Amino acid sequence: MSKASTIGRMPWRRLAAVALVAVAGLVAAGCNKNGGADVNRGKMLFTARCSTCHQLADAGAGGGTQGPNLDDAFHAARLAGEDSDTIAGIVKAQVDNPRPVVPNPSASMPAHLAEGQDLNDIAAYVGAVAGTGIEPPKIAGGPGGQVFASNQCGSCHTLAAAKSAGTTGPNLDDALPGMSAAEIKQSIVDPNAKIAPGYPPNVMPGNFEQVISPTDLSALVQFLQKYAGKTSSGGKTASSGP
């Protein structure tokens, strides 16, 4: 969100304490509540929008260093007994009013990168996991399977090998068999290049090539090419082709 070294000349490790003071009034007034927030959706949004600048253990693959490591930033707050709602309120305040506000985007996060329900969901997710040492779920399939899990691909897609049953996007056991590695990669990094029948454009984030490192992206493509269209036990499932 901002440069990892300072907030107005202040070390990032003091971020949580500063933010707690700054939003104390909001917390006391109950403005940190996240009624109706979707933590799972928040994780997807964080991965797509925030992980290019921030590290968060639960988010798994990727993670930038331009902004503070959120586990480090909120570790002290966790030890002090701050709850998830309070941390979520701090996140909201930081997104609405990042400090310092300067013209250089490499030195400061622009205000209002997320608003409304998107911000509620992101804040609830960060509030639930930051500073807790939570790690992403482990699944079969080696490094590529872990990239699939860490980036919450299964929340939108069905893939038997990953035991996922998302329905927002196409069933990968049906859509991917027969596709080349290049075609699978394109479907990840440029999802609007070829829209699957029955699905609208602009649903899948288009920045995974920036969010996922080249090594992890290659591992993910290999994982999908190897396992899509097969059950977890190795048998073929019915496939309707790409």
Full pLDDT tens readout for the chain, 242 residues: 433 333 333 343 444 443 433 333 333 333 334 468 899 899 988 888 888 888 888 887 556 777 788 888 888 778 777 889 999 999 988 888 876 655 555 557 777 888 899 999 999 999 999 988 766 666 678 889 988 887 778 888 999 988 888 888 999 999 999 999 999 999 999 999 998 888 888 888 888 888 788 999 999 999 999 999 986 434 443 333 33
142-227: same fold as 12-129? yes
How is domain 142-227 classified at the architecture level of CATH?
A: Orthogonal Bundle (1.10)
Please list the residues that pair with 165 across neighbouring strands.
Answer: 158
Give the per-residue pLDDT at 218.
Answer: 94
Quote the pTM value: 0.48
DSSP 8-class letter at 38? -
The phi, psi pair for 82, rounded to 5°, reads: -65, 140
Q: Which parts of the chain fold into alpha helices (H)?
A: 15-22, 24-28, 39-49, 70-79, 84-96, 116-129, 142-150, 172-175, 181-189, 208-211, 214-227
Give the per-residue pLDDT at 20.
Answer: 39
Which residue reads 């925030």 in tokens?
50
CA atoms within 13 A of residue 71's CA, in its CB half-sphere: 15
What the block records as the tokens of 102 is: 């300067």
Domain boundaries along the sequence of the chain: 12-129, 142-227
- Cα angle 190, 193, 196 (rounded to 5 degrees) comes to 105
Class of domain 12-129 (CATH, top level)? mainly alpha
Give the per-residue pLDDT at 71.
Answer: 86
Give the per-residue pLDDT at 189.
Answer: 94
Residues 25, 47: Cα–Cα separation, whole Å = 30
Q: Which parts of 135-213 fold into alpha helices (H)?
A: 142-150, 172-175, 181-189, 208-211
Q: Which of 161, 62, 210, 207 is nearest to 176 (CA)?
A: 161
